[in-house]
Copies of this chain bind each other. A is one copy, B any other.
């Protein structure tokens, strides 16, 4: 018996195929991850990546939208897709014997979708409903305003969905041109995890992904964090407060320290923010902190949803917790954060879709699979000094504040947006 191991193959055009086999399951997750996202879009066609993702399911040279859905669901498989600021992904999960069908459909929708103008007009209506749903959900849209405030008028500051105006402006030609320019073989990764044979997948990919060209990827505009404040009063019950700072990129030496900082500050029930804001003061139901990274730069974010009468109390508490964590962290809480992250990594190993996505993202971000042992060693190397040092670094940057909802109690932003 051989122990299954991660394998990677780079095809002549530059496309990478990577597999993480598990012989204890009967299913497989497979997907195409593209190094293309909202930050690669010119302002006037903001939302084109996401629209391209939608249109992939609306018909190809060989298949109607109904065919795509029916062929996958006939065998009990399911397919989905998402767009983020740096990536676009199309993925499926199915029983092991249906992998060839899934690769055929994925290759077809990624390479050969036809962008029929009538289908596009209808899909613009669908995406506009998706935008409206986001606008109507205060604890969703506040993060779009936060992102726009953190990055000003840069590609990283724009919404992934685009706006009603920019989405309405997209033509079949623009979408097709964007695909032609960006979906090159060397920017795509095919990843699979579960009951999969690497060589068999490589053969399927060679057979089906024949219409991509390899070109060097254009570098996106470098991330330049600005900070600032955004306030939007709305006649709703809650006030949503997002307070953020300039963060770290995936390859920053402080990456793992910032993840540990986010975990001990606002990552679980034992975290400082949960204990201080929710358990001791009852000010919020949802309160957390998280670190997000890009290939260059990142954001470090605190969030809480509170009431109109509590919002004035909340702000000094958040500010106080920031000051406290800059001053000192203790060994116990660093060890606890590490234990939580370690268990999360081990638990993530149990899901084919989780392993597939993690592997694909590692190839796109680091250019190689990152062994769990390496991640665990990196976390192990983070001590209290590293955490306070990264806290000092992050919280010295100009803050970004987005406040939306019942925020009348928030009389002045001065104490938060003034110089630290």
Contacts and interface: CB of A to CB of B under 8 A. Distances in A.
Given A238-B129, A285-B129, A69 B351 contact: no
A27 interface: yes
A280 B339 contact: no
Instruction: Please indicate which of the listed interface residues A66, A135, A285, A310 has the most CB atoms of chain B within 10 Å of its own CB.
Output: A285
14 contacts: A69-B274, A73-B268, A75-B339, A76-B340, A76-B342, A122-B282, A123-B282, A126-B284, A132-B237, A133-B285, A136-B138, A136-B236, A350-B350, A351-B351
Given A58-B279, A129-B285, A132-B305, 17 more contacts: A27-B346, A73-B270, A76-B340, A76-B342, A77-B343, A94-B343, A95-B346, A126-B285, A129-B284, A129-B306, A129-B310, A133-B237, A135-B237, A136-B237, A136-B405, A137-B137, A350-B350
A14 interface: no
B136 A238 contact: yes
Nearest to A25: B350
A94 B69 CA distance: 37
B236 A66 contact: no
A57 B269 CA distance: 10
Interface string A41-82: 000000000000000011000000110111011111111000
A133 B79 CA distance: 31
Interface in A92-138: 93-95, 121-130, 132-133, 135-138
A275 interface: yes
Contacts of A305: 129, 132-133
A347 interface: yes
A262 to B, nearest CB: 14
Interface of A: 24-27, 57-58, 65-66, 68-70, 72-79, 93-95, 121-130, 132-133, 135-139, 235-238, 268-270, 274-275, 278-286, 305-307, 310, 335-336, 339-344, 346-347, 350-352, 405
Nearest to A236: B136
A332 to B, nearest CB: 8
Contact of A350 (B76, B135, B351): B351
Given A73-B268, A279-B65, A346 B135 contact: no
Nearest to A67: B270
Contacts of A93: 347
B236 A76 contact: no
Contacts of A269: 57, 68-69, 72-73, 78-79
A372 to B, nearest CB: 12
Contacts of A238: 129, 132-133, 136
Contacts of A268: 69, 73, 78
A321 to B, nearest CB: 15
Contacts of A138: 136-137
Nearest to A277: B126
A133 B269 CA distance: 19
B282 A121 contact: yes
A285 B130 contact: yes
